[in-house]
Amino acid sequence: MSAWARYLYSATLYTLSPLIGWRVWREQVPTYSRLQRLGFERESRLEGPLIWLHCASVGEVRAATPLIGALLNAYPQHFLLVTTMTATGAQQVQALTHLSPNLHHRFLPLDFPGSAKRFVRYWQPALAIMFETELWPNLLHACAAEHIPVAVVNGRLSARAFARYQRFPRLMAQTLGNVTWLAAKSAVDAERFKTLGMPAERTQVVGSLKFEVTPPDKVWEESERLRQRVFEPAGERPIWVAGSTRDGEETHVLAAHRALRNTFPEALLILVPRHPQRFDEVARICEQASFSVARRSKQQPVTADTAVYLGDTLGELGMFYAAGDVAFVGGSLVPLGGHNVVEPASLGRFTLCGPSLENFDDVAAPLIKAGALKPVADAEALGSALIDALHNLAATAQKGAQGQRVVAAERGALERTLEGLEKLISQAPKNK
């Protein structure tokens, strides 16, 4: 098949390079060289076989954490290189480096042909693993040129992404032609990938890795410490958590909180924005709405007058969910497709979300059916649902426990994914 579609794609990237460069400048960690974005390395390559796993950002890293741990355990002689696109994703990987000295992070190079080729030739992975929908044409082409097998795991295509990719049929067919094995999370996703050009014989439906999350034991200890040392000195009070909120969503969350406090004046909201660059902005939004705010990052005390506790830190969302009575998962009251509803469910928390769940509809469905997850239409409905949940905490706790049971019953995708990856790794050239 002619490569003209990929050449046209590359030309478009070069045209947009000023905009892309600005984005890269923003998504940076001071300890990393920006040259990584062009495939250049300052350090010597790690000596030994290497597996490369790419996750777009913090949400994907969280969802891939069980896979990261399993790969480190299954292949102790291999280094595991995890790449991300964003600074928050990088920080999430750094928080996992305690798992093994073999775990390393780099920023993904931009998908220019030269950058992709330099990156792949430098690292020479035995296997390249793309998480979910990370289909970069030049990077996958570079892997194929170096005879490196490529797996797409937890493969998903939302209706919106599917429609977007359908506009570029030749490019997607060329790109998917370089995928050795697709581990799709559902039959619907597998069919969408097939429509775009993924060969059916290289596709397997394995289920969603998002159900594989197992909260670490320390989450419970940390959440109990948070309640005892930060919250309870100001008195016992109902607590709800709004996690991974996005731009334009906090106003809805705060409106729901205001309605809740009309019934439960002592109610406390733990508000955790998705992106750290918005922490200060969200603090201002809360203050402008006349809510008294205590910020986690500044270790500000929670008093009886505190209405909002701003979780403006990284890596503590699980602890916040565990510390609350009810959870709300953001990215769903605005049309962004939602975020991971499994995380609070795995912690036994009854969970609310908005109507936008396209990115998590498959994992949300069994939780909704079990009554452990409840979508609401808007801020008013969110406030009403919170009032109902806090009026009967015993029933709410039972719904949360049912969510835990659903998560446990849906597991199995990790084992099936590892079986497929083992076949690819065993076939890799011995020098990789």
User: Would you name the residues annotated as active-site residues?
Assistant: 60
Q: Which residues contact 221 (CB under 8 A, 6 or more apart)?
A: none
How far is it, in rounded angstroms, from Cα 93 to Cα 82?
7
- Whole-number Å distance between alpha carbons of 249 and 37: 31
DSSP designation for 186: S
In contact, 154 and 413? CB cutoff 8 Å:
yes
Core vs surface per residue 339-348: b (16+ CB within 10 A) or e: bbbbbbbbbb
- Nearest to 425, CA basis, from 148, 184, 160: 148
Give the CA radius of gyration of the chain. Answer: 22
Show contacts of 297-303: CB within 8 Å, 24+ apart.
Answer: 301/230, 301/233, 301/234, 302/230, 302/231, 302/233, 302/234, 302/268, 303/234
Name, in order, each residue with C-beta under 8 angstroms of 417's C-beta and a sequence gap of 6 or more: 67, 153, 154, 183, 206, 209
Amino acid identity, residue 253?
V
> What gap in Å lies between CA 251 and CA 93, rounded to an integer?
31
